Amino acid sequence: MDKSSAVVEEKKASSADVAISVRNLTTSFLSDQGTVTAVSNVSFDLYRGESLGLVGESGCGKSVTSKSLMRLLPEHVTRYGADSQVLLNGKNLLKFSERRMQEVRGNQIAMIFQEPMTALNPVFTVGWQLDEALRYHTDLNRQQRRKRVIELLDMVEIPSPEKRCDEYPHQLSGGMRQRVVIAMGLACEPDILIADEPTTALDVTIQSQILKLMNDLRQRTGTAVLLITHDLGVIAEICDRVVVMYAGQVVEQAPVRELFHNPAHPYTQALLQSIPRAGQRVKGQRLTTIDGLVPGLQEMPTACRFAERCRYRQVKCDQEMPDTTNLSESHCVRCFFPVHSST
């Protein structure tokens, strides 16, 4: 078993403060070429009321991790590790039947998807779709549900909610549709909200409004938020802590401020250095990039998975897989030679 990469902040939070605990999550898929592993020994805790960012470039395993938590992956081709655990109130969701998971989804854990037009059914009004979760998970009558739907639309700052709830998704703007999806996620007051790239399809102005809205709602309702993104700017804006993933593994965890000022993993440092900054670029000079590509699922090295792209690569990195080590109570890294210089 890999050493747990979760940082347990004993002085800061007790186990009672944990909304969901992920331990040694390994998710594999059956394919014509054999079994391929997309996520390996991922561990982290999400505390009540906090916003935790899960960040990394495309193909690093972020979405597979979030869908594993929700059990939304196709069961007939998905396999979880024997010691993998997703603990909600002390119970392992990976052992739940589909029927039990239906009681959890939307009620205790809800998810906001990347593209609102695929999350919303075009043939039903937004009010009907908001009402669906309330019909399934609550004992409210029709009049009470209608009132709750209007309250939800008002809560996510949609103007004229009484009118909007009778409209169809195509009648709303992209930003409005994303607000409806957020309202759907919050309909049953879940303990945990998973937001998978919730602003990718939106322009910069609307993105900022949605992020502010999500942060305000989190502080108002106490809902824990797991934010999946490749955008470190989004992480900096609303997250308390960050989990950095690379090639299916957690490579670093830290509070946001510490991670941005003192990244310990070379991959984290490279991500931060590749963020464009105003006035940084010299005329004719290329923007900073990370050379190479994330290894494919069938080409995962047995040693350090970032070694081929790492500027600090040493012989040991090509021979062994690094364990996760704690740099402090709140900061851990999977690296033989952590970077200690400020970015």
DSSP 132-198: HHHHHH----HHHHHHHHHHHHHHTT-SSHHHHTTS-GGGS-HHHHHHHHHHHHHTT--SEEEEEST
Residue 284 pLDDT: 63
Average pLDDT estimate for 98-126: 90
Q: What is the spatial distance between Cα 107 and Cα 188, in angstroms, rounded to a whole number?
A: 5
Least confident range of 111-125, 219-233, 322-336? 111-125
Give the chain's mean pLDDT. 89
User: pLDDT grade, residue 147 (50/70/90)?
Assistant: very high
Of 9-23, 100-114, 167-181, 297-311, the range with the lowest mean pLDDT is 9-23
| pTM, full prediction | 0.88
Helix (H), strand (E) at residue 241: strand 241-246
Positive/negative CA dihedral, 119, 123, 127, 129:
negative
All structural domains of the chain: 1-97+239-343 (3.40.50.300)
pLDDT tens digits, 56-68: 988 899 999 999 9
Of 297, 296, 252, 299, which Cα lies nearest the Cα of 271?
252
Which residues fall within 8 angstroms of residue 215, CB to CB, at 6 or more apart?
Answer: 51, 237, 238
In this predicted structure, the answer to whether residue 205 has a pLDDT above a threshold of 60 is yes
Residue 10: band (very low, low, confident or very high) from pLDDT cuts 50, 70, 90:
very low
Which long-range contacts does 158-162 make (Cβ < 8 Å, 24+ apart)?
Answer: 158/183
